[in-house]
Structure 1
Amino acid sequence: MKKIQQYLIQIKKLLDYTFFRLLVFVVLGVVLFTSMYGNVKPEKLDISLLTVADKTIRSPATVEDKISTEKKRQEALEQVQDVYTLKKEYSKNQVDLITSIFDSASEVNDDIEDETKKQDVLDEDPINVMEPTVEEEVTMLKGKLTDRVIKDLSERVFTALVQASNDELSIAKDLTVTAINNVMNKRISADDVENAKKSLEEELKFTTLNGDLKNAAIELGRYAVIQNEFYDPEATEELRKQAAESVEPVKILQGQIIIEEGKLIRQEEFRQLELVGLLDNKQSYKPFIGLMILISIILTSVYFYFYQLKDHPEKRQTDLLLFGIVFILTFFILKIISMLQIFNYSGIGYLFPAAMGGMLIKILIDEKLAILSSIIFSIFGSILFNEGVSGTLNFSVGIYILFSALAGVLFLSGQNQRSKILQAGSFTAAVNLFTIWALMFLPNGQFSGLEYGYYILTAIFSGIGSAVLTMGLLPLLETSFGILSTMKLIELSNPNHPLLRKILMEAPGTYHHSVMVANLADAACEAIGANGLLARVGCYYHDIGKTKRPNFFIENQMHQENPHDRLPPDKSANIIISHVKDGSAILKKYNMPKEIIHIAEQHHGTTLLKFFYHKALQGGENVNEEDYRYPGPKAQTKESAIVGIADSVEAAVRSLNQPTPETIESLVKKIVADRLQDGQLNECDLTLKELETVSHSFCETLKGIFHSRIEYPEMTKKVVQG
């Protein structure tokens, strides 16, 4: 074990250099990449067209089938009908045209009538009035029409119109316009124009118009009926575009069965196998690049986590090395279990003791790092347990590992006793069981009773196995790295510890004093954010050296003569001072943690034994002040400094006859000021503000201990004579 510790010390020294820290992460990345290389390596199949598949083949990734997508898109385009637009304004235009023709005929009649009236006025003899001939009237009518209308209509139409009276023209116009409206309000394509004209002709054929005017109306109606539905290229193209865009891409989904075992591999299946890359002989580097990026992101996040820590460099290096060992060990177990997939057992990944790594990191390092590690293990687990489908992630196992690891980490929060580890394992097993059930029920799968029993056993094995492995590895890691974990501190605070029993039996006054000092130091450390538990346990052992000569210390002199009354001050000082050295030796003999030993060595610093020093001065001797000072060293940490101040404060307040809040506060401030002036706090990182908080905490705790009590009157004893 000592050799291992020596190797670890040498490695930690190398980690002082940034190059070696980066090298650790590079090596870790290479190990991870090598371990997961086979899980992301694309699978290549040696099969041929029109052969029988010897196994069921699934797609390793989701890929778009562009050929099928284009085929589906063409089918959608073929189903799009051409868009024809109805020109409603054409109906109005044609009605206006026919109306203008009838109106022109009426105007000719009106003009002739007006001209006749003028002739009657000028020549009273009607015989001399010359009426225009039909040809002249037709000419007059044509003069009011366009050349195109004149050209398109026959002469009999014009003749019939000029021979009709205005009343007849009005009736003919209304009938013709109505018929045109009825026909033109419907869609009339190029092929339907003739049918539409016949429909109009049938409608006018049974009117009460005279023969010539009816024929004229029919010809005018047929002339007015034209095509009003036309092909719209823009609307058609827009509709085709929408149809093409509405077609969803055809995809071969990850895990989708392409060809089942025993089926003939036809052209379509062969094309799909080639599309997903299972027939491509060229090596694809994309999965490896993706794996490298993923590992780089994870390791970079871990590196920056340690980089931003404000801990002492030695502690940061210890934590980094410890994290690396736990991480590699957990990943190694993960990899070994993933290799059992060759036996085709369903849910083999649920056997992994997922909570082990998280609990170890939580206990030994930090809860935040434990949660981060849980997430990392779940990601790697989803890659390693991909059930033979290359390039895929097993999200079920990933979720299971995440929930299992977080359950162990969160259950241990604030309860880091070793006895709680097994409870955490039981709690994790329960969470594992509920997680597995959730993952089984979500896809509405059908499982047999045997499968349910198997999953229950895997959940229990994972949870309890995590606790057992944690309890087994924890002492080894603590001993190898010299780590003083919270659990170790709680164990050391057990009153049944041999050294605490030694203090209680051999120096009961010192034991009581240590407990009182522990209460003061614990509360003060918690008030400023220091390690209160470390300070408390350090107080329990800080005066262990007094057990060598317990009667020479006043708290153990129960109605006994003080032996210092018979000794010269220098010898008394040597005895008092030696309890620090004796205590350090005893603690080292029992292999106590170095943090506890440091508190025992530093709690007095280099303070002066004022009582014996002044006693020596009063004796008229040549006194060297250094002979009456503790050897030190001075307090190096906040906890050591606070324990030292609490030790002096408790002893001083206990010596008061009737301590009041005012005297306690004054005494505490005086002791703190003396420590500052004597330079005892120069080597620790306590600030003046923190000292003020510590002083206030001491006063509050002491006021609670030495509070005022009610004086009860003595009861008169009555002697009963018999």
Structure 2
Amino acid sequence: MKDFINKLYRNHSLIYKGLLFICTTFLIVYLFPKSGKFKYNFEKGKPWQSENLYAPFNFAIKKTNEEIASEKISITNNSILYFNVDSAIETKVTNTFEAQFKNTFTDSISENDLGDLLKTGHKIIKELYRFGILTEDYDFSDSQVIALLENRVEKEKVLFSNLIKQDEVVSVIEKVLSNQNLLKYKNKFVSLFFDLVEPNLEYDKSTTDKVLQEELDKIAYAQGSVEKGTLIISKGEVIEGDKYQILKSLQSEYESQVWTKSNYNWILFAYILLVALALLMLLLFLRKYRPDVFENNTKVTFIFFNILLMVFISTMVINYNSKYIYVVPICILPLVLKAFFDARLGMFAHVITVLLLGFVVPNSYEYMFLQIIAGIVTILTVSELYKRANLFISVGQITLIYIVAYFAFFVIHEGTVETIEWQTFIWFILCGLATLFVQPLIYIYEKIFGLVSDVSLLELSDTNSKLLKELSNIAPGTFHHSLNVANLAEASANEIGANAMLIRVGALYHDIGKMKSPTYFTENQSTGINPHDELLAKESAKIIIDHVIDGIEIARKNNLPDRVIDFIRTHHGTSMVYYFYKKEKEQNKDVDESDFTYPGPKPFSKETAILMMCDSVEAASKSLKEPTSSKIDTFVENIINKQIEEGQFLNANITFKEIQSIKKVLKHKLANIYHLRIEYPE
């Protein structure tokens, strides 16, 4: 049992990665739709590339979206509008008219004429309320069919033009009086009816909408069916018209049918296999080409988290409305991974993510082509993310690539630009703007995962920062030495393609441990007094060696990132404080070498190896007397060759060719520092 626990402990890192791999796989599969997927790819207007296709089961031929939309518009335009009739108002108006008639028309009018006028008034009322008077002016077509409801029962159907608007009452009165040759009484009738007439028709929107919805619900979404075994399309036949619609119907049937439990389990198992395979490729890539990242569980978690986040956001957008899929800023993924790791890893993870999203997005080939091309442009254009101008220029180029590629795909599919959906270009622009969020996102990730990007390195390289200010005040000689080393290391890094920003920051902070005992280091001894003269060689060596440990403590206290602390730990490797070792050897032949050796570790990257070379060369160059080009060449060769012989660079992935290039840079830079000219032969 104890052996088993020890074995688990020794392999805890691999066990964690295994659990992370399994959890990520299941979470991604959980987000995916669990329907079948049509195994054929086809495009309208293109030949059918596969073998003859026969119907695998009975299915309905669905109408196109345009046909359904046209039917809905037709039903909506021809729908009946419902108005409620208040029949009591006509009776009320009639009674009021009879009561006020005698007050309006004087006794000077004969009885016969009064009788005619009274009858005419009743005719006006009948004419006004024949179909009804509207309560307000409605903006409907005159040819619109209207159903009149009395006590919720349909009374009759009329055209909207037959209904009387309130501003048409006078014209109706005038028309009736004209027919009766009584126009001379127009003013009195108008005055009388002005206060009497009340509207009795009110638009019943709820009933109208309800009936319209019932009609819309009756729309048939299919137009015929295909029997099992029927030939749908032959190989080489052009996909157009009814053939295209039948294929789309079959594809929709595959993706929407309700599967049995057995089918569902098989589909789920297949999704798990494919997602696991994709993520496994990523893990194998990290193990083979990025072992330092693979060994760091935090970094592996960070990469898997970002892939899962992109899949989650994309699936949520697709579930809401798939037309917004291009708003999701997928290119943030390669930007973030490039900022924290490198371009190759960023591109590999981006491709894996796009392949995973190909399962859920519509037009998967088009989507994957666009996103992979955009990812390549992202990697190629963003060189220095900490420069804001670079990011804006890159986002502009990414957006342009999206637009151009989408335009090309649309023309290929449709053969025309007349029906292009210009609003899609707005989604691409919004995607570009969303990509700019990468800057604050990188800052958030740095705080959560403890990683460091070039943006943070730029901040750390500021010599006015608190820690570097303190170094310049306490140990000015060391500060000046660090600046010189930074310049040499940056030039060397640029020569062989290493991370120049990282190595510059590492060089600036590599000797901060000397702040604890600044006067014990020659570059800070301005008075000519050397405190080592009063110490034993072993004690002096301990003080010199301890500046590495002290530097690590100071760095951690000031929250410097681990990538920078690595330079403090490794800049002397496992080399020896040779001066004091030799001094001790002169007095005592039996010397323990470990007392005079730095604890290490040895440099384990190109950047830390470069710093070790530059630090040793710059420090030792101060001892050169009457330097010449040949002296400097020999001097640089001796120092770096000695480090190679001691095996200081065995753990660093740096080649002899790169070391030769660094030697060349150091020789050239030192010659410039000492203002040397080329020595011509006499």
1:409 to 379, 382, 405: 379
For residues 349 and 610 of structure 1, the distance between their equivalents in structure 2, rounded to whole angstroms, comes to: 64
CA RMSD of aligned residues (A): 4.9
Give the unaligned 5+ runs of structure 2: 1-7, 39-55, 63-214
For the 8 Å contact 2:551–2:568, the answer to whether it is kept is yes
For the 8 Å contact 1:538–1:599, the answer to whether it is kept is yes
Match of 2:219 in 1: 54
1:34 to 13, 22, 30: 30
Distance verdict in 2 for CA 1:613–1:653, change over 3 Å: same
- Structure 2 residue 487 is matched with structure 1 residue 519: yes
- Structure 2 residue 529 is matched with structure 1 residue 553: no
For residues 427 and 460 of structure 1, the distance between their equivalents in structure 2, rounded to whole angstroms, comes to: 11
How far did 1:534 drift?
A: 3.5
Match of 1:358 in 2: 334
Distance verdict in 2 for CA 1:279–1:365, change over 3 Å: closer
1:633 to 573, 576, 600: 600
2:315 to 322, 335, 339: 335
Distance verdict in 2 for CA 1:650–1:298, change over 3 Å: same
1:138-172 per-position Cα deviation (integer Å, ceiling 9, x unaligned): xxxxxxxxxxxxxxxxxxxxxxxxxxxxxxxxxxx
Match of 2:93 in 1: none
2:398 to 406, 419, 428: 428
How far did 1:40 drift?
A: 4.1
Distance verdict in 2 for CA 1:677–1:439, change over 3 Å: closer
How far did 1:356 drift?
A: 1.4
1:326 to 306, 321, 327: 306
For residues 254 and 486 of structure 1, the distance between their equivalents in structure 2, rounded to whole angstroms, comes to: 57
AA aligned to 1:384 is: V
How far did 1:609 drift?
A: 3.9
- Structure 2 residue 670 is matched with structure 1 residue 706: no
- Residues 322-331 or 533-542, more deviating: 533-542
How far did 1:628 drift?
A: 6.5
For the 8 Å contact 1:507–1:547, the answer to whether it is kept is yes
Distance verdict in 2 for CA 1:586–1:353, change over 3 Å: same
AA aligned to 1:37 is: P
For the 8 Å contact 1:58–1:254, the answer to whether it is kept is no
1:422-453 per-position Cα deviation (integer Å, ceiling 9, x unaligned): 554444344444445555566335469xx74x
For the 8 Å contact 1:653–1:659, the answer to whether it is kept is no
1:479-508 per-position Cα deviation (integer Å, ceiling 9, x unaligned): 444434444434422334332333334433
Match of 1:597 in 2: 565
For residues 616 and 367 of structure 2, the distance between their equivalents in structure 1, rounded to whole angstroms, comes to: 58
For residues 580 and 280 of structure 1, the distance between their equivalents in structure 2, rounded to whole angstroms, comes to: 68
Distance verdict in 2 for CA 1:394–1:44, change over 3 Å: farther
For residues 653 and 608 of structure 1, the distance between their equivalents in structure 2, rounded to whole angstroms, comes to: 18
Match of 1:209 in 2: none
For residues 17 and 594 of structure 2, the distance between their equivalents in structure 1, rounded to whole angstroms, comes to: 47
For residues 476 and 11 of structure 1, the distance between their equivalents in structure 2, rounded to whole angstroms, comes to: 32
How far did 1:687 drift?
A: 7.0
- Structure 2 residue 464 is matched with structure 1 residue 464: no
SS in 2 for 1:599: helix
- Structure 2 residue 547 is matched with structure 1 residue 579: yes
For residues 48 and 59 of structure 1, the distance between their equivalents in structure 2, rounded to whole angstroms, comes to: 6
For residues 510 and 58 of structure 2, the distance between their equivalents in structure 1, rounded to whole angstroms, comes to: 72
For residues 649 and 439 of structure 2, the distance between their equivalents in structure 1, rounded to whole angstroms, comes to: 39
SS in 2 for 1:37: coil
- Structure 2 residue 662 is matched with structure 1 residue 664: no
AA aligned to 2:562 is: K
For the 8 Å contact 1:522–1:535, the answer to whether it is kept is yes
For residues 617 and 25 of structure 2, the distance between their equivalents in structure 1, rounded to whole angstroms, comes to: 53
For residues 678 and 65 of structure 1, the distance between their equivalents in structure 2, rounded to whole angstroms, comes to: 78
SS in 2 for 1:637: coil
1:574-630 per-position Cα deviation (integer Å, ceiling 9, x unaligned): 544443333222111111122322321332345444445566677x68996659625
Q: Rg larger in 1 or in 2?
A: 1
Match of 2:289 in 1: 309
| Correspondence 1:261-272 to 2 at 5 A | none
How far did 1:652 drift?
A: 1.8
TM norm structure 2: 0.59
Distance verdict in 2 for CA 1:308–1:253, change over 3 Å: farther
AA aligned to 1:338 is: I
For the 8 Å contact 1:59–1:276, the answer to whether it is kept is no
1:175-196 per-position Cα deviation (integer Å, ceiling 9, x unaligned): xxxxxxxxxxxxxxxxxxxxxx
Match of 1:654 in 2: 622
SS in 1 for 2:572: coil
For the 8 Å contact 2:511–2:548, the answer to whether it is kept is yes
For the 8 Å contact 1:603–1:640, the answer to whether it is kept is yes
For the 8 Å contact 1:517–1:539, the answer to whether it is kept is yes
Distance verdict in 2 for CA 1:624–1:654, change over 3 Å: same
AA aligned to 1:511 is: F
For residues 227 and 417 of structure 2, the distance between their equivalents in structure 1, rounded to whole angstroms, comes to: 26
For the 8 Å contact 2:488–2:666, the answer to whether it is kept is yes
- Structure 2 residue 14 is matched with structure 1 residue 16: yes
For residues 655 and 248 of structure 1, the distance between their equivalents in structure 2, rounded to whole angstroms, comes to: 82
For residues 652 and 279 of structure 1, the distance between their equivalents in structure 2, rounded to whole angstroms, comes to: 75
Distance verdict in 2 for CA 1:689–1:63, change over 3 Å: farther
How far did 1:325 drift?
A: 0.9
Distance verdict in 2 for CA 1:288–1:706, change over 3 Å: same
Distance verdict in 2 for CA 1:58–1:664, change over 3 Å: farther
Give the unaligned 5+ runs of structure 1: 1-9, 71-246, 261-271, 387-392, 712-722
For the 8 Å contact 1:53–1:259, the answer to whether it is kept is no
Distance verdict in 2 for CA 1:476–1:250, change over 3 Å: closer
Match of 2:347 in 1: 371
For residues 246 and 292 of structure 2, the distance between their equivalents in structure 1, rounded to whole angstroms, comes to: 58
1:507-535 per-position Cα deviation (integer Å, ceiling 9, x unaligned): 33322321222333345556667655443
- Residues 325-334 or 349-358, more deviating: 349-358
For the 8 Å contact 1:432–1:463, the answer to whether it is kept is no
Match of 2:75 in 1: none
For the 8 Å contact 1:507–1:546, the answer to whether it is kept is yes
Distance verdict in 2 for CA 1:282–1:653, change over 3 Å: closer
For residues 440 and 287 of structure 1, the distance between their equivalents in structure 2, rounded to whole angstroms, comes to: 32
Distance verdict in 2 for CA 1:305–1:562, change over 3 Å: same
| Correspondence 1:586-625 to 2 at 5 A | 586-612=554-580
How far did 1:357 drift?
A: 1.6
For residues 254 and 697 of structure 1, the distance between their equivalents in structure 2, rounded to whole angstroms, comes to: 71
For the 8 Å contact 2:61–2:222, the answer to whether it is kept is no
Distance verdict in 2 for CA 1:547–1:325, change over 3 Å: same
For the 8 Å contact 2:232–2:246, the answer to whether it is kept is no
| Overall identity of the aligned pairs, in % | 24
Distance verdict in 2 for CA 1:58–1:294, change over 3 Å: farther
For residues 9 and 304 of structure 2, the distance between their equivalents in structure 1, rounded to whole angstroms, comes to: 12
How far did 1:337 drift?
A: 0.9
For the 8 Å contact 1:400–1:436, the answer to whether it is kept is yes
1:492 to 450, 457, 460: 460
How far did 1:281 drift?
A: 7.5
In the comparison of the two structures, how many residue pairs are matched? 494
AA aligned to 1:16 is: L
